[in-house]
Amino acid sequence: MRAHSLRSRLILIILTPLLLIALIAGIWQYRTTTLRAEGIFDRGLLSAALAISRDIAVSDGDALSPPTRAILSDTSGGEIFYHVYAPDGVFVTGYATPPVQPVTAPQNPAEPFYYDARYRDENVRVLRFQDGTTVSGVSGVFNITVWQKSDVRNSFVREVVTRSFTVIGLLVASVAFVVWFGVAIGLRPLLDLETAIARRTPSDLEPIRRPVPIEARKLVETLNILLDRVSRRISSKDEFISNAAHQLRNPVAGVLALAEAVQNAPSRASAIARSAELVEAAREASSLTNQLLSFERASGTDVDRSGTKIELQTLLRQIAERFRLQIAPRQVDLILTLADEAVTIQGDEIMLQEAFLNLLMNAVVHGGPEMSAIAISLAKKEGMAVIEVKDDGVGIPREKFVQAVSRFSQANGGPGSGLGLPIAARVMENHGGSLRLLDTSVGTVVRLGLPLIDRDIPPDRRRRSD
């Protein structure tokens, strides 16, 4: 994944709309200046035409007054040219040939008529103006044409727009400069946080308690939650390793002692007898090791990623067949009461089988010699698949419920590793479900809850099975 600078992103987010606004402002300024220049220069042409009309009436077309000549020589920064002819078409004064009118020009305009034309290979702006007056005894409507090079007004527009764009550019550059250093100052608390985290040792998982901006507070809170989870996970691992080492020490020592006894047996018959004991001790150690591994796998299973759709009726029937094969010598009835409609969950089939088999074997091992039946029921309730495992054995006292689901603990003592119920509870937890021991007068009742795939219930109720 490509890394991006937070400062660059913030500057880009801030400056992009600013540059867009500056561009729109520049375009608006150009159009406004163009229209303004057109109005200013057109009014200058009209002023010149009116001055010429007045002067030819006063001097009978012989000369223009000095003020009018001043207007013609430098109106709006450029020279104005003119042409006047009488009502009968006779040339009166000015330049001999005016710019050609467009074909769409009116013949007798009542109002001043402006148009753009070419005059001696240059673009010009032209005003044709008609005024009724008397010159040398000739009365009528005189045609006055004045024009000016378009470069004059274009230069004016360029100058104004250039100044405007320069100011806009300076403003954008100033904002960019302020934003660059302002963002750097604003990000300083995050950089300080990064430095503080980098200085931590791998074993330092204490929550971050340094002050941070409000915008980063949620990030720090989430990081603290993660650190707490990692810390508890590591503590759990350490505790598990310590307990596992303690639990394995005695079986391994027993296997070692029996192996030495076989090695030093005084006779072949004695060696064979002790070998049988050695095999049984090795099986017990192997069973304990497998349960320890099952507990660890149950702790690390990611059901959301590795889980598949599982129909619980089919799964429970398969588990029942495996269980019957494993306890064939014991006369224990297994009764299944399953829901008529399909009950489907998302889960890890292997770990669920391990959990249910642990519950069933736990009932056989700790239920006592009088236990004769185990009943499994499956139903739907409030978006959950509810499974109850009941037996008619000696049961677990209510005050020992917590002890029964704790690792390496047993409520009533006896054989086993004390991991049967904890494995089942951890599997349920990783599937978003729960395991509960229910108070009953006969035997033991374990209620399991697993969320259905098609459930539609609030998240805070998905871990409830009753």
In this prediction the pTM is 0.46
| Percentage of residues in the chain having pLDDT higher than 70 | 82
Beta bridge partners of 308: 347
**CA–CA gap between residue 70 and residue 57 (Å, rounded):** 18
> Could you say which DSSP state residue 98 is in?
P
Q: Is residue 308 part of a domain?
A: yes
Q: Is residue 325 part of a domain?
A: yes
Do 290 and 322 reside in the same domain of the chain? no
Question: 40-75 b/e with 16+ CB inside 10 Å = b?
Answer: ebbebbebbbbbbbebbeeeebeebeeebeebbeeb
Do 358 and 336 reside in the same domain of the chain? yes
Do 230 and 265 reside in the same domain of the chain? yes
- Last residue within a domain, chosen from 266, 297, 328: 297
Do 285 and 355 reside in the same domain of the chain? no
Do 265 and 312 reside in the same domain of the chain? no
**CA–CA gap between residue 69 and residue 357 (Å, rounded):** 115
Do 322 and 456 reside in the same domain of the chain? yes
**pLDDT below 50 — which residues of the chain?**
1, 456-466
Q: Is residue 131 part of a domain?
A: yes
Q: Is residue 209 part of a domain?
A: no
**DSSP annotation string for 39-64:** HHHHHHHHHHHHHHHHHHHHHTTS--
- Last residue within a domain, chosen from 250, 265, 297: 297
User: What's 218's domain CATH number?
Assistant: 1.10.287.130
| pLDDT of res. 458 | 43
Contacts of 300 (CB under 8 A, 6+ apart): none
- Backbone phi and psi for residue 47, each to the nearest 5 degrees, phi listed first: -60, -40
| pLDDT of res. 120 | 87
Do 30 and 79 reside in the same domain of the chain? yes
Q: Which helix or strand (DSSP H or E) is residue 139 part of?
A: strand 138-149
Q: Is residue 121 part of a domain?
A: yes
**CA–CA gap between residue 20 and residue 64 (Å, rounded):** 52
- Backbone phi and psi for residue 339, each to the nearest 5 degrees, phi listed first: -65, 145
* Range list of H helices, 264-310: 268-300, 303-306
**DSSP annotation string for 106-131:** -SS-SS-EEEEEESSSSEEEEEEEEE
Q: Is residue 445 part of a domain?
A: yes
**CA–CA gap between residue 418 and residue 405 (Å, rounded):** 8
Which pairs from 274-280 meet CB under 8 Å and 24+ separation?
A: none
Which residue range is the domain that position 126 belongs to? 6-170
Cβ neighbours around 392 below 10 Å, total: 19
Q: Is residue 292 part of a domain?
A: yes
Do 127 and 29 reside in the same domain of the chain? yes
Total domains, the chain: 3
What count of residues does the chain have? 466
| pLDDT of res. 78 | 74
- Last residue within a domain, chosen from 297, 314, 334: 297
Do 17 and 97 reside in the same domain of the chain? yes
Do 288 and 407 reside in the same domain of the chain? no
User: What's 444's domain CATH number?
Assistant: 3.30.565.10
Do 425 and 355 reside in the same domain of the chain? yes
Q: Is residue 82 part of a domain?
A: yes
| pLDDT of res. 457 | 44
Closest CA to 145 of 81, 228, 192: 81
> Could you say which DSSP state residue 432 is in?
T
| pLDDT of res. 269 | 79
Do 336 and 305 reside in the same domain of the chain? yes
